[in-house]
Amino acid sequence: MRYCNDGTTDQEQRHKVNPLGLVLGGGGVRCLSHLGVAQCLQDHGLRPDHITCSSTGTLVGILLAAEIPPADIRRVLDSFRIRWGWLWPTLRSGGLFNQQNFLRILDAFGIPERLEDLRLPVQVLVTDLVNAQPIALSEGNTRLLTLASCALPGIYAPVRHQGTILGDGGVTNNVPADVCRAAVGEKGIVLCSSLEMDTSMPPEEIRSFAQVVYRSIYLPIVNERYRNFRRHADILIEPFKQCPLCFSQWREILRFQNRQAMERHFRAGYKEMEQELPTLRRLLQVESAAESPLRSSFGS
């Protein structure tokens, strides 16, 4: 794909009318499906004008905002050092594991130190744990804000910054479609890649103590997320909408070392995006690009 001086592709320069905002929600290792979405867009000559991201979606969002090709991101994620570096314990209070892997990935691509120096405009969602509110940031230290936004509660420690403590953006706004809508305006197109799961479950499967407690705590949070992004998104990509919201699924979100899971999530995102391409083209008022095959790189 060839880029013009302002960062857009030559095809977009000629054809795209409405700005495209891409929302990348959080969900642990399921964020690999965002790469499938991005790869599909790239294969069909499309790219976002603005990225809004939260939680582990921020790691992918930062890399895409730096215009790192999804295939290159996948190759780094599949390297031995990265795959087995996610669960190294930490001595810091507030978390079980260190976040060096996030920094290794950013450093592997020489990501700019400041958000405002990335090639595409990006907004990173973090949670101010002191004042109990979400914050959307488009300027600031890239490494620090990536660590803060991706600080899954209890898994990774939050980050102290300017007199407050910043934690996982997903705690207060996991799929920030409203923030993206404000950025691209009413005429913009909000493409929302959500990692949320199906909230329904057969009664016979709600038996264990952990299952009851988990669903009772989590359901109000998830329902609020749904109300937010369904109100503001023009197109929803939901590759995990058939997966039940249960405690066993939550445990899967940290399996970054599993090649099969990485490949499965990537393909799920690609195929969901591919199904929505006709609608996206119509909303953006662009012509169809040549079809490109779905490629695999994890473990190849």
pLDDT by residue, tens only, the chain of 300 residues: 333 433 444 444 345 678 999 999 998 888 999 999 999 999 999 999 999 999 999 999 999 999 999 999 999 998 878 887 887 888 777 788 889 999 999 999 999 999 999 999 999 999 999 999 999 999 999 999 999 999 999 889 999 999 999 999 999 999 999 999 999 999 999 999 998 866 677 777 777 777 787 677 767 677 787 788 889 999 999 998 877 666 556 566 666 777 888 899 999 999 999 999 999 999 998 655 444 445 445 554
What pLDDT score was predicted for residue 249?
60
CA distance 296 to 99: 27
Read off the tokens for 223. 């329902």
Instruction: Please report which residue ranges of 109-208 form alpha helices under DSSP H.
Output: 142-149, 170-173, 177-184
What pTM was computed for the model? 0.85
What pLDDT score was predicted for residue 15?
53
What pLDDT score was predicted for residue 212?
81
Q: Would strands 122-128 and 159-161 be described as parallel, antiparallel, or unpaired?
A: unpaired
Contact 121, 48 (CB under 8 A): no
* CA-to-CA separations, 292 to 158, 285, 289, in angstroms, rounded: 41, 20, 9
What pLDDT score was predicted for residue 103?
95
What pLDDT score was predicted for residue 40?
98
CA distance 29 to 59: 11
CA distance 266 to 37: 8
What pLDDT score was predicted for residue 146?
98
Tell me the three state secondary structure of residue 235: strand
**Dihedrals φ, ψ of 254, to 5°?**
-100, 10
What pLDDT score was predicted for residue 207?
76
